[in-house]
Amino acid sequence: MEDLYLTCHRKLMELSWSVIRKSRCNLAELGFAWNQYSVMKAIEQGEALTLSEISARVHRKNNNVTTIIHFLVSKGIVERIPDEKDRRIIRVRLTEEGIAIRQQAMEHHDNFILQLYGPLNEDEIKKFIDAVDVVLEKIK
């Protein structure tokens, strides 16, 4: 029976890393790394967020997010603006071009997800999610 548990664990790890690798390749087609996509996705249209707010949304340290923001600024996707109430605070918002690029990237990634899980029917997906939830609960 233990072999079955080990096989399950190995398969889950293989699945996890394969999905991560394929997701990264999918986003690389658009010229983004996963962390760049995550930051861009975290900023909604019309929002102007501080680095701390972005960091909290993507679960990364401020200094990591700063580097990503530099990249996104260089690509014209986001811009830095001073806070209206406190000029010491810098906020980040999507540019007009950034709004379109963000939407395109999200649609591209969503299509990838649909293709990835497309072979499974809704019942199989629900059972898979339930099984993963059981394991996640045990890890907590």
Domains and CATH numbers, the chain: 2-139 (1.10.10.10)
pLDDT in tens, 3-53: 999 999 999 999 999 999 999 999 999 999 999 999 999 999 999 999 999
Return d(Cα 109, Cα 134) in angstroms, integer.
27
Return d(Cα 20, Cα 23) in angstroms, integer.
5
> Is the sign of the CA dihedral 20, 23, 25, 27 positive or negative?
negative
49-50 β-sheet, strand order: 49-50, 90-94, 78-82
pTM confidence score? 0.83
pLDDT in tens, 48-92: 999 999 999 999 998 899 999 999 999 999 999 999 889 889 999
